[in-house]
Amino acid sequence: MIPTKVHYIASDNPSIPAFALQITQIVDSYMLWASPTELFEGDVEKAPLSGSLCRDWACAMPPKAGTATTGASTSIYRTTNSDISISMAQRLARRFGKQVFLSIDIQSYAGKLEVLLALEKGILQALKTLEK
């Protein structure tokens, strides 16, 4: 069975939304979907049902061992105004040494740096917990 879990990424800043993060663990890979949510933490399992998988979707490979270069990456699907999933997937793949499929459905928050940083920080914390 392929383990899938939905995490709630809380926000203590009123200008930054809470996020739902779905993590699917595959052999040496993570498939991640993240989106702002208005659901409460106890209901976050329902968030993927109302989100969009293909809003901004990318795949990144970790770099070869012993190299400082960035691994291969590609956009699977993206909208014309958003391509943030590629760079974030590259950073996550390099950090965890696994292939990362990352789908981000952030719509109107796309250009807000503080929102993107909060999202990436939440993803990092969730993946660190899984890696233990």
Contact 122, 128 (CB under 8 A): no
Calculate mean pLDDT across residues 64-92: 83
CATH for 4-131, options being 3.40.630.30, 3.90.1150.220, 3.30.230.100, 3.40.50.300 = 3.30.230.100
Average pLDDT of the chain to the nearest whole number: 89
Strand partners, 46: none
Predicted local confidence at residue 80, as pLDDT = 64
The pLDDT value given to residue 81: 64
Query: For residue 59, what pLDDT band results from cuts at 50, 70 and 90?
Result: very high
**What is the pLDDT averaged over residues 7-20?**
93
Domain chopping of the chain, boundaries: 4-131
Residue 96: name the closest of 44, 32, 1, 35 by CA.
32
Burial 29-63 (b: 16+ CB within 10 A, else e): ebbbbbbbbeeeeeebeebbeebbeebbbbbbbbb
Mean pLDDT over 18-43 rounds to: 94
Kindly report, residue by residue over 99-119, the tens digit of the pLDDT.
Answer: 999 999 887 777 788 999 999
What tens digit of pLDDT does each residue of 28-40 get? 999 999 999 998 8
Asked whether the CA dihedral 75, 93, 120, 51 is positive or negative, the reply is positive
Instruction: List CB contacts of 33: < 8 A, sequence separation 6 or more.
Output: 21, 22, 48, 51, 53, 103, 104, 105
